[in-house]
Structure 1
Amino acid sequence: MDAGRLAPPPARDAATVVVLRDHDRHGLQAFLLRRARSMAFAPGAYVFPGGAVDPRDGEASLGWSGPSPAEWAAAFGASETVARELVCAAVRETFEETLVLLAGPAPDSVVDDVRGDAWEADRRALLDRSQSFGGFLDKRGLVLRSDLLRPWAHWITPKIEPKRYDTRFFVAAIPEGQRARDVSTEADQVAWVRPAEAVERGWAGEWMMLPPTLATLTELAEYETVADVLAAERAITVYEPTAEVVDGEAFLVLPEDVAHFYPTG
């Protein structure tokens, strides 16, 4: 407690993935979900697939291909344990919310079709935590493809919020043959959209977005193709908005180098 104020709640480690594709007519597109208005956190907001780390995401026996947890730890400034958990959470949450699965039967292959009742049963078992992600991969004879992900950003929820997340952002191309679907119980609408169009809708007030989402889309609007995004060299900076009280009213203050990404009026 400081000056009579309660200490801020701890921020839970979380991961989110910007799933991307190249469209024949519209060019680079990102997959967004609109959170159901019944949700306690960010109701009605357009977000990327993702969520908090599950305690079992760090299972050491989980099949893994691509950059090691140590390499991901260096990229995100995290411990190897947290890095492993974040990558697993990124792949697991993306599958749970979109049926896009960044895994394959071999280190150089990827599942091309995850439709069907058996896949849906596995997805639900992950959702209700009756099955761990490592157990799911083992049963299917799959390995996680960490090489299909790239690190993109790192945002921490402001200390004034009752629910806080320490979120690492990843980008990934949707695997060939797979299709992102509206399967999340937390969302009521999904869309493939050009990053620039999503930004325009955000600025116009048509789509509600949190600052990290709008900032990420603004950055992605500078790229023409998925390949361009995946080839981008990123130095990951930690962004944590703060709050200031002016005339008795609290205002969110964004880090200076991303503040211009978000509409203020």
Structure 2
Amino acid sequence: MSEDKAALRNAATILLVRRDRDEPQVLMGQRGAKAAFMPNKFVFPGGAVDPGDAMVPLAGPLPDVCAGRLACDVSPDMARALAAAAIRELWEETGLPMGVPGTWPTDPAPDWKGLAGLGLVPSAAGLTYVFRAITPGGRPRRFDARFFLADASAIVGDLDDFSRASDELSHLQWIGLEAARGFDLPFITEVVLAEVSAVIRSGGTPGPVPFFDNSGPESVFRRIA
């Protein structure tokens, strides 16, 4: 049976922030012109959850408050898979490894061999759940995406070394929060930046998670306590 590419899929996106310059910067890249989903747009690293993501060993779990908020609508296994997917997509699309030194208890899946080869085990301890969005109907791809905020200090190695990145995103770069608004962004990326910018600037603790819900006939914006 062929895959229904328009079926709603769980996905994870990561807003990686560095704070060693005059203002906080986020890591973004440009999707290809032939991409079925958001062609040419500048986006944060992210993508759909893979079936094996729930089985990936995490050296550190999600913080309790984030796990609790995710538990409002997903199982613990899916919450774990979302965290793993965020780290995997960051690795695949940018070549930046997020993890801690350690040994994998089992042979890693192909998508994780590169990270494991660096002697690293992924850790979700530095992820903060900050946004949820469901793609509106009628699009060629639809995702139930959870956005995670992470500090660049969780990256092992050079923050400007994208030599191990795949070709899914081009023009990878660190962009200041104000400058990012001048790029060609998807609508939802603009919304996420607007909602999360105050948290990024202050380094404070996010409040209830904003949720842009397009699961029904009308768009609804609410917050997850």
TM-score range, shorter chain: 0.7 to 0.9
C-alpha displacement at 1:196, in angstroms?
Answer: 2.0
Q: 1:64 to 1:137 in 2, by over 3 A?
A: farther
After TM superposition, the structure 1 = structure 2 runs for residues 1-265 of structure 1, keeping only pairs within 5 Å, are: 9-25=6-22, 27-59=23-55, 62-67=57-62, 72-76=66-70, 77=72, 78-105=74-101, 131-133=110-112, 140-175=118-153, 177-180=157-160, 181=162, 183-199=165-181, 201=182, 207-223=183-199, 225=201, 228-229=202-203, 231-241=204-214, 255=220
Which structure would you say has the larger Rg? 1
- The answer to whether the 8 A contact 2:212-2:222 is kept is no
What percent identity do the matched residue pairs reach? 27
- The answer to whether the 8 A contact 2:59-2:100 is kept is no
Secondary structure of 1:16 counterpart: strand
**Which residues of structure 1 form unaligned runs of 5+?**
1-7, 107-125, 202-206, 245-252, 259-265
Secondary structure of 2:145 counterpart: strand
- The answer to whether the 8 A contact 2:41-2:185 is kept is yes
For residues 54 and 199 of structure 2, what CA distance do their matches in structure 1 show?
33
Q: 1:211 to 1:179 in 2, by over 3 A?
A: same
Relative to the length of structure 1, the TM-score reads 0.68
Q: 1:46 to 1:58 in 2, by over 3 A?
A: same
- The answer to whether the 8 A contact 1:196-1:221 is kept is no
- The answer to whether the 8 A contact 1:16-1:170 is kept is yes
C-alpha displacement at 1:9, in angstroms?
Answer: 4.0
Letter of the structure 2 residue corresponding to residue 192 of structure 1 = W
C-alpha displacement at 1:164, in angstroms?
Answer: 0.5
Q: 1:131 to 1:56 in 2, by over 3 A?
A: same
For residues 17 and 150 of structure 1, what CA distance do their matches in structure 2 show?
9
Structure 1 segments of 4+ aligned residues over 6 angstroms from their partners: none
- Superposition CA RMSD, Å: 3.0
Relative to the length of structure 2, the TM-score reads 0.79
Q: 1:194 to 1:257 in 2, by over 3 A?
A: farther
For residues 185 and 155 of structure 1, what CA distance do their matches in structure 2 show?
25
- The answer to whether the 8 A contact 2:130-2:206 is kept is no
For residues 73 and 256 of structure 1, what CA distance do their matches in structure 2 show?
21
C-alpha displacement at 1:173, in angstroms?
Answer: 1.2
C-alpha displacement at 1:138, in angstroms?
Answer: 5.4
- The answer to whether the 8 A contact 1:86-1:168 is kept is yes
Paired residue total: 209
Letter of the structure 2 residue corresponding to residue 186 of structure 1 = E
For residues 63 and 24 of structure 1, what CA distance do their matches in structure 2 show?
30
Secondary structure of 1:222 counterpart: helix
- The answer to whether the 8 A contact 2:199-2:205 is kept is no
Deviates more, 1:90-99 or 1:178-187: 178-187
C-alpha displacement at 1:59, in angstroms?
Answer: 0.9
C-alpha displacement at 1:257, in angstroms?
Answer: 7.0
- Alpha-carbon deviations, 1:222-250, whole Å to 9, x = none? 3564xx33x32231243124898xxxxxx
In the other structure, the counterpart of 2:105 is none
For residues 71 and 243 of structure 1, what CA distance do their matches in structure 2 show?
27
